[in-house]
């Protein structure tokens, strides 16, 4: 695995640490359990990090020196990708893996570079984009801080890799629009840790009659402001004893006000006169997340766009209904009126109406929660996602070697 900015060992909730970190960690663990030898290559962003960390049998993380040994925003990492590729190729030495799986477009560049070195073995590359520059640009316009080279390098990665794993059906259409042949695209969604996220267990305490919850990196595109804008509308509908708990942001920067997005959200809440209903909780460690999810009447995910979205799966696994914008992966994971309510994107009144419907109807909440739990358990376990990913690996290897593989017990990735 190559995951340039998103280490499986990082704390989650900061601007650049979220779903990709979870995905790479959980998928790697599930693949190691299935008998593969997995190495995750990521950039060293702290001088204290050891070169190698053994996570469990068959799974290690290797930190490669590529750029400063400190946090560098992901949009400033492109110049270090050749160094990352070199470090990966050096680590392989004379024993390259059977296959390399890159996460995010820049990891794709490094993986292709490492896997196609003149004189070296050609290592097949599987790519998961996690997010696409075309979609980001469409929504963020001039606010998009991606390096300008992403415009042509990302499609070039898509064309050059052996196979792409899209995380949702919507992404397949986006890839096609980028000129990528759908025949080389497989779909495997993200999964959810069903040990950690379950309906059984104590909910965290809550201060008001109702709690709605927003969880995620504190970046504008997650649309947390839209949920704040729904609060006055909920009041008008008679629901005034509602807390909006906002989880996310690096460390406690959201709580101290050091985080600019947190400041923007607090100011908005003040302008709308709902500041006493909004709690910015900051970063929450994985092990506390399920209790917080269980304490909510509904989890609201209102992003402008979403390549997948693990939070709704975590909410569903905890038996909590989800109100989600009908974009990207959320239309695959959340079943409208089955496990939650889908609403049009960027629409605070639709969010307010959906939340009001749920708050008014405990039976509906329970029914959607039960169905969500079942859907998460049957469709989105990491074991199942790993099995689907393995199928994509097998197709890749069959394509590049021209023969079908034997069962991959013990194969190296
Ligand atoms: N998360 C966390 N603590 C926080 C904020 C987020 O553990 O304070 C986790 C959250 O539970 C989820 C992931 O970060 O597992 C966010 O993933 P998602 O796919 O929803 O969003 P992304 O970060 O990929 O945009």
pTM: 0.90
Kind and range of the H or E run holding 228: helix 224-236
Q: Is 338 exposed, middle or buried (0-12, 13-18, 19+ CB in 10 A)?
A: middle
Question: 132-137 contacts: CB < 8 A, separation 24 or more?
Answer: 132/171, 132/174, 132/175, 132/178, 132/307, 133/105, 134/174, 134/177, 134/178, 135/174, 135/305, 135/307, 135/328, 136/221, 136/305
Compute the distance between CA of residue 380 and CA of residue 10 in angstroms, rounded to an integer: 23
Express each pLDDT in 194-246 by its tens digit.
999 999 999 999 999 999 999 999 999 999 999 999 999 999 999 999 999 99
Compute the distance between CA of residue 339 and CA of residue 335 in angstroms, rounded to an integer: 5
DSSP single-letter state for residue 116: T
Count of Cβ atoms closer than 10 Å to residue 79 Cβ: 11
**Residues of the chain predicted below pLDDT 50:** 401-413
Domains of the chain by range and CATH? 8-191+381-401 (3.40.50.2000), 210-379 (3.40.50.2000)
CB 153 near ligand 1, within 6 Å? no
Residue 16's pLDDT is: 77
- Contact between 75 and 154 (Cβ < 8 Å): no
Residue 412's pLDDT is: 42
CB 89 near ligand 1, within 6 Å? no
For the CA of 286, the closest atom of ligand 1 is 7
Could you write out the DSSP letters of every residue in 247-300? E-SSTTHHHHT-SHHHHHHHHHHHHTT-GGGEEEEE---HHHHHHHHHT-SEEE
- 227 C-alpha to ligand 1 centroid (Å): 17
Q: Which residue's alpha carbon is at the smallest distance from atom 24 of ligand 1?
A: 19
Testing ligand 1's pocket by substitution, the residue of 12, 191, 224, 327 carrying the most ligand atoms inside 8 A of its CB is 12
- Contact between 24 and 6 (Cβ < 8 Å): yes
Residue 121's pLDDT is: 84
Residue 348's pLDDT is: 98
| 281 phi/psi in degrees, rounded to 5 | -95, -20
Kind and range of the H or E run holding 325: strand 322-325
- 248 C-alpha to ligand 1 centroid (Å): 8
CB 248 near ligand 1, within 6 Å? yes
| 271 phi/psi in degrees, rounded to 5 | -55, -40
Residue 165's pLDDT is: 98
- Contact between 307 and 355 (Cβ < 8 Å): no
């Amino acid at each position: 695995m190559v995951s340039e900015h998103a280490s499986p060992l990082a704390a989650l909730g900061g601007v650049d640490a979220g779903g990709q970190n979870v995905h790479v960690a959980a998928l790697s663990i599930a693949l190691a359990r299935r008998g593969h030898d997995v190495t995750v290559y990521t950039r060293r962003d702290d001088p204290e990090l050891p070169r190698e960390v053994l996570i469990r049998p068959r799974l290690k993380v290797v930190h490669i020196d590529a750029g400063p040994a400190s946090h560098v925003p992901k949009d400033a990492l492109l110049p270090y990708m050749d160094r990352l590729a070199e470090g990966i190729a050096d680590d392989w030495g004379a024993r390259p893996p059977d296959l390399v799986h890159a996460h995010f477009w820049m990891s794709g560049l490094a993986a292709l570079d490492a896997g196609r070195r003149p004189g070296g073995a050609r290592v097949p590359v599987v790519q998961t984009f996690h997010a696409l520059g075309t979609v980001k640009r469409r929504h963020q316009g001039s606010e998009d801080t991606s390096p300008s080279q992403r415009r042509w390098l990302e499609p070039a990665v898509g064309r050059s890799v052996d196979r792409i794993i899209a995380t949702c059906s919507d992404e397949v259409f986006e890839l096609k629009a980028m000129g990528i042949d759908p025949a080389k695209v497989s779909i495997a969604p993200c999964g959810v840790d069903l040990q950690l996220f379950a309906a059984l267990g104590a909910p965290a305490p809550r201060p008001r009659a109702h709690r709605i919850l927003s969880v995620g990196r504190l970046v504008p595109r997650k649309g947390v402001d839209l949920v704040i804008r729904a609060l006055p509308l909920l009041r008008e509908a008679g629901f005034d004893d509602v807390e909006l708990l906002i989880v996310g942001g690096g460390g406690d920067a959201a709580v101290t006000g050091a985080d600019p997005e947190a400041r923007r959200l607090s100011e908005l809440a003040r302008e709308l006169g709902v500041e006493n209903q909004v709690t910015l909780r900051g970063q929450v460690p994985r092990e506390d997340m399920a209790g917080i999810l269980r304490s909510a009447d509904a989890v609201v995910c209102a992003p402008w766009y979403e390549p997948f979205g693990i939070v709704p799966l975590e909410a569903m696994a905890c038996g909590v209904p989800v109100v989600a914008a009908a974009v990207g992966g959320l239309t695959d994971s959340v079943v409208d009126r089955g496990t939650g309510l889908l609403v049009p994107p960027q629409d605070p009144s639709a969010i307010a109406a959906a939340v009001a419907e749920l708050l008014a109807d405990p039976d509906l909440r329970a029914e959607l929660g039960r169905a969500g739990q079942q859907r998460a358990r049957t469709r989105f376990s990491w074991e199942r996602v790993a099995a689907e990913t393995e199928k994509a690996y097998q197709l890749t290897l069959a394509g590049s070697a021209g023969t079908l593989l034997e069962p991959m017990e013990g194969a190296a990735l």
